[in-house]
């Protein structure tokens, strides 16, 4: 069958329109790829062949009826802390599993747009981690070198896109989980503004901070999926309507903020440092004007996420299960959630006050710059390294990611070259709330420049 190696949305749609292939042929091709990869720990649950063909028949009927289907026949993966009706949600903890009768709002919107769910993807248990090894279902590996981690917590979602098993995948991003796997697998990771996409039907990690994120092979696809899935939702009190006044384009000449040299941290990874320097030069060639910023208040904010009372929100998310079944949890995840015991209500208010101070300190930065540019991570680790030091190395990976939702920022992770050993490096563009489309537009310009 003449199915393309790339599953980019535009390529598939053009093929459907020209009758080069059909949705059922694309599904058959994907199933063959999955079979050939063997036990790669990407999936926790997959739809059966018959269930997939049922989806195909449904969208073919809709198309014949004239329904608008912008994602007609587009295959996607769903992180297994996001509900798909009639299929188990485990959050990578078998003892926690349940089968929802209703899909998450975002999933339902995508299916109604013609997308076909292939299955539920692996993750760090309860979306707690940036490494991708905290799951009883195995550890998905970096697609470029299986000795290295895929990144988490949306590990299976990232690898599913990078391995061309789906066109896009839904992840979640509380601390960086929608960006780190993108960097480690050379794909795009869009972390929308908090609440832009409803989190109804998502197992919460930190409910006040959680975001559904999008992995794709290019920025155009991520933006399209976001615009289909977005919108205020009565089922999610944290969801938000997109303001009509939101910034949708980046100026041709843009100011990009970069931390002072003494605030950049690559954890000894000189190749990553060199690639970041090269990325900054490319941005200048694109019309960017580099502005040095003080990263200290952003870094202090990041430390609140796991070092402050917000860890208690993770306990609140799974409290009843933790109270009765903590022994069933991954030991590292259990240790992190148990950290809630050292905080009390007074600590929560103290942390809230400090966060408000930091928001006030960081706000003027956005008057001086249009976008912040950061390494997505300072380095990458092997699976063995992470297993030998699971907490410290995970914390290192959050150096440039953990502050974003606390400060209500949007971000998009982009590929930015390869080290000499073949491992990818990525940058993240960061902007204020509802700058998502402007960031995506700049991301498309970046892709055109870097090919």
Element (H, E) at 374: strand 371-375
pLDDT in tens, the chain (451 residues): 567 889 999 999 999 999 999 999 999 999 999 999 999 999 999 999 999 999 999 999 999 999 999 999 999 999 999 999 999 999 999 999 999 999 999 999 999 999 999 999 999 999 999 999 999 999 999 999 999 999 999 999 999 999 999 999 999 999 999 999 999 999 999 999 999 999 999 999 999 999 999 999 999 999 999 999 999 999 999 999 999 877 778 889 999 999 999 999 999 999 999 999 999 999 999 999 999 999 999 999 999 999 999 999 999 999 899 999 999 999 999 999 999 999 999 999 999 999 999 999 999 999 999 999 999 999 999 999 999 999 999 999 999 999 999 999 999 999 999 999 999 999 999 999 999 999 999 999 999 999 8
Domains along the chain? 9-229 (3.90.1300.10), 254-403 (1.20.58.1700)
| Tokens 């509380």 -> residue | 174
177 is catalytic: yes
Question: Which among 29, 150, 167, 177 is annotated as catalytic?
Answer: 177
Helices (H), 43-147: 49-64, 105-112
Instruction: Please give the Cα distance from 158 to 132 (Å, whole number).
Output: 10
- The single residue of 153, 157, 164, 239 carrying the catalytic annotation is 153
Q: Is 216 a catalytic residue?
A: no
The catalytically annotated residue of 29, 79, 120, 239 is 79
Q: What's the token pair of residue 89?
A: 């949600």
**Token pair recorded at residue 86:** 């009639």
Q: Known catalytic residue: 24? A: no
pTM, two decimals, is 0.97
């Amino acid at each position: 069958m003449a199915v393309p190696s790339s599953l980019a949305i535009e390529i598939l749609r053009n093929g459907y329109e020209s009758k080069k292939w059909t949705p059922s042929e694309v599904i058959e091709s994907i199933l063959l790829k999955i079979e050939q990869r063997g036990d790669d720990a990407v999936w926790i649950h997959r739809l059966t062949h018959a269930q997939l063909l049922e989806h195909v028949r449904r969208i073919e009927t809709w198309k014949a009826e004239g329904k608008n289907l912008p994602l007609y026949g587009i295959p996607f993966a769903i992180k297994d802390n996001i509900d798909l009706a009639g299929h188990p949600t485990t959050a990578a903890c078998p003892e926690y599993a349940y089968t929802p009768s209703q899909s998450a709002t975002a999933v339902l919107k995508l299916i109604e747009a013609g997308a076909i769910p292939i299955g539920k993807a692996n993750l760090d248990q309860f979306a707690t981690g940036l490494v991708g090894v905290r799951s009883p279902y195995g550890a998905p590996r970096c697609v470029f070198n299986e000795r290295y981690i895929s990144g988490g917590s949306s590990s299976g979602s990232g690898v599913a896109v990078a391995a061309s098993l789906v066109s896009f995948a839904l992840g979640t991003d509380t601390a960086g989980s929608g960006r780190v796997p993108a960097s480690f697998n050379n794909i795009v990771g869009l972390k929308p503004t908090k609440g832009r996409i409803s989190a109804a039907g998502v197992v919460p990690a930190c409910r006040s901070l959680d975001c559904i994120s999008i992995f794709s092979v290019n920025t155009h696809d991520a933006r399209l999926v976001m615009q289909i899935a977005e919108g205020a939702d009565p089922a999610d009190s944290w969801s938000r309507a997109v303001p009509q006044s939101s910034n949708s384009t980046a100026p041709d000449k843009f100011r990009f903020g970069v931390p002072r040299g003494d605030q950049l941290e690559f954890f000894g990874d000189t190749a990553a440092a060199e690639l970041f320097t090269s990325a900054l030069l490319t941005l200048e060639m694109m019309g960017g004007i580099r502005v040095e910023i003080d990263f200290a208040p952003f870094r202090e904010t990041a430390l609140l996420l796991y070092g402050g009372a917000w860890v208690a929100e993770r306990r609140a998310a799974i409290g009843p299960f933790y109270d009765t079944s903590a022994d069933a949890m991954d030991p590292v995840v259990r240790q992190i959630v148990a950290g809630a015991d050292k905080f009390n209500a007074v600590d929560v208010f103290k942390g809230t006050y400090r966060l408000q101070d930091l928001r006030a300190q960081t706000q003027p930065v956005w008057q001086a710059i249009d976008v912040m540019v950061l390494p997505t991570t300072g380095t990458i680790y092997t699976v063995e390294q992470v297993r030998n030091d699971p907490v410290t190395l995970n914390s290192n990976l959050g150096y440039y990611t953990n502050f974003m939702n606390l400060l209500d920022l949007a971000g998009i992770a982009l590929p930015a070259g390869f080290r000499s050993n073949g491992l990818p490096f990525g940058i993240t563009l960061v902007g204020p709330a509802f700058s998502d489309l402007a960031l995506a537009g700049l991301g498309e310009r970046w892709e055109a420049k870097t090919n």
